[in-house]
Amino acid sequence: MTDTKTYRIKSFGCQMNVYDGERMGELLDEKGMRAAEDGEDADLVVLNTCHIREKAAEKAYSDVGRLKREDGSRPTIALAGCVAQAEGAEAQRRSKMIDVVVGPQAYHRLPDLVAQVEKGERPVDTDMPAISKFDAMPKRRKSGPSAFLTVAEGCDKFCTYCVVPYTRGAEISRPWADIVDEAHALVDGGAKEITLLGQNVSAWRGENEKGQDGGLELLVRALARIDGLERIRYTTSHPADMDEGLIAAHGEVDKLMPYLHLPVQAGSDRILKAMNRHHTVESYLRLVERFREARPDLAISGDFIVGFPGESDAEFEETLQVVRDARYASAFSFKYSPRPGTPAADMDGQVPEEVMNERLQRLQAQLAEQSLAFNRSKIGATMDVLIDRKGRLPGQMIGKSPWLQSVFAETDAQIGDILTVDILDALPNSLAGIIRPKEAAA
């Protein structure tokens, strides 16, 4: 054994946290640390937390507590992510075990903060220096077949239930050249698919190398020209920010995958207004139809909140109706959770837990039925599958369909291969298929 220090980063919550976790790992690698192996004790543990729903902070503190080892010792502990941002120095008052508190806009300083711990300090860094963290990070070197690339951060929408504008700060678009460079580096490092990330990715704006100003469409079209990059996705979009150019791109850019995560949150105009969503049910459904006109096989996915303050039974029924009308292929659904400091937390008519449970169950049953129907509609289809991991059974590999379904197949192909697969069976959350032999695939 060498005395190289090891780290473990645990990311919770959204894909942006996954991205941030990878970048923190790269920063630590650059300082000569290495990722701890499975089962190996790490010298440094980074908890990259999520604050979007209830008990996030409590969960983070109990995760910290569990890091104590049997002999009473513990690793150096850094609390990162949105709980760190929201709690700040309070985190260290609540838990003596937390050595570093570092927010989502300050993590480029993580190695320095860890070095300060070695000098006996307990640093807290929740600054929000505009964009600079990206400039302070090393170039990307290696990548899995499917990579995340943060293009926009923060959110200015202020939906009344959401902490994001407070924990991630104001909306910021990364500059064009930085994004294009990072995409090239990811592809050189092995990525076949890139998912462009932003809490509100559809608000991205920038200027290309010719000085032309534009939105996500311009970026998608440029990235599609990168040789070796086969698939492009983006998430999460806000219905009020989608423009005609982006819709058209879905019909014209082959590399742009036929999948769109477009949260509606609720099916009642009164609730949408109280949520400050800047769209109505009708404008949302019209938008979905326009996307489907551009790309008829588009899979739509969404996010839903049940039990927003004041939501009546009838208003909840409207949510079930929008689920049917938008024909979701998949979705995430949550019980409303009051977040400290957000306007909705102080609204009248907080909905009792039992009512939320019942609504969530009904919504999820409806969504599950639709996902299964969508998956079944692919039985008999032939599709490209990007292999991204090993299955549990010997010889089994798992990949992603263009519609983001997990596809299981037996093959001796490698992670990163794109295979042509005939789909034989569908389950609620996956497809099963057989690989088409190479000559037949032509």
β-strands 206-207, 213-214: how paired? antiparallel
* Per-residue mark of binding to ligand SF4, 182-211 (x: CB under 6 A): -----------------xx-----------
**Using rule CB under 6 A, residue 229 touches ligand 5AD:** no
Alpha-carbon gap, residue 154 to 175, rounded angstroms:
15
Alpha-carbon gap, residue 4 to 59, rounded angstroms:
30
CB 331 to ligand SF4: min, Å: 14
CB 37 to ligand 5AD: min, Å: 32
SS3 state at 388: strand
Given ligand 5AD, ligand SF4, none, residue 158, with its beta carbon under 5 to 8 Å by kind, binds ligand SF4
Among 36, 60, 162, 242, binds ligand SF4 (CB under 6 A): 162
Given ligand 5AD, ligand SF4, none, residue 305, with its beta carbon under 5 to 8 Å by kind, binds ligand 5AD
**Using rule CB under 6 A, residue 303 touches ligand 5AD:** yes
Part of the chain binding ligand 5AD (CB under 6 A), chosen from 20-28, 85-93, 335-343, 413-421: 335-343
SS3 state at 272: helix
Nearer to ligand 5AD, 44 or 60 (CB): 60
SS3 state at 166: helix
Q: Which of residues 70-99 bind ligand 5AD (CB under 6 A)?
A: none
**Using rule CB under 6 A, residue 155 touches ligand SF4:** yes
Nearer to ligand SF4, 110 or 162 (CB): 162
User: Which tokens go with 442?
Assistant: 């032509």
**Using rule CB under 6 A, residue 291 touches ligand 5AD:** no
Given ligand SF4, ligand 5AD, none, residue 199, with its beta carbon under 5 to 8 Å by kind, binds ligand SF4
Alpha-carbon gap, residue 154 to 201, rounded angstroms:
9
Contacts of 359 (CB under 8 A, 6+ apart): 306, 307, 311, 316, 319
**Using rule CB under 6 A, residue 98 touches ligand SF4:** no
**Using rule CB under 6 A, residue 337 touches ligand 5AD:** yes
For 181-206, b/e burial (b = at least 16 CB within 10 A) is ebbbbbbeebbbbbbbbbbbbbbbeb
Comparing C-alpha atoms, which of 328, 326, 348, 324 is closest to residue 338? 348
**Using rule CB under 6 A, residue 309 touches ligand 5AD:** no
Given ligand 5AD, ligand SF4, none, residue 337, with its beta carbon under 5 to 8 Å by kind, binds ligand 5AD
Contacts of 314 (CB under 8 A, 6+ apart): none
- Taking the CA atoms of the chain, what radius of gyration do you get in angstroms? 22
Helical ranges in 327-409 per DSSP H: 353-376
Nearer to ligand 5AD, 95 or 276 (CB): 276
CA distances from 263 to 156, 158, 284 (A): 16, 15, 9
Q: Which of residues 13-52 bind ligand 5AD (CB under 6 A)?
A: 52
**Using rule CB under 6 A, residue 164 touches ligand SF4:** yes
Site size toward ligand SF4, by CB under 6 A: 10
Nearer to ligand SF4, 165 or 169 (CB): 165
Reduced 3-state DSSP string for 92-126: HHHCCCCCEEECCCCHHHHHHHHHHHHCCCCCEEC
Name the DSSP class of 298.
P
Q: Which of residues 220-239 bind ligand SF4 (CB under 6 A)?
A: 238
CB 334 to ligand 5AD: min, Å: 4
Complete DSSP assignment for 180-218: HHHHHHHHHTT-SEEEEE-TTGGG--EE-TTS-EE-HHH
Nearer to ligand 5AD, 319 or 337 (CB): 337
**Using rule CB under 6 A, residue 108 touches ligand SF4:** no
Backbone angles phi, psi at 311, to 5 degrees: -65, 120
**Using rule CB under 6 A, residue 334 touches ligand 5AD:** yes
**Using rule CB under 6 A, residue 162 touches ligand 5AD:** yes
Confirm if 288 and 237 have CB atoms less than 8 A apart. no
**Using rule CB under 6 A, residue 159 touches ligand SF4:** yes
CA distances from 291 to 45, 259, 296 (A): 43, 10, 8
Nearer to ligand 5AD, 143 or 199 (CB): 199
Q: What is the dihedral of CA 22, 218, 230, 381, to 10 degrees?
A: 110
**Using rule CB under 6 A, residue 249 touches ligand SF4:** no
Nearer to ligand SF4, 143 or 160 (CB): 160
CB 221 to ligand SF4: min, Å: 24
Binding site for ligand 5AD (CB under 6 A): 52-53, 161-162, 263, 265, 303, 305, 334, 336-337, 339
- Contact residues: ligand SF4, CB under 6 A: 155, 157-159, 162, 164-165, 199-200, 238
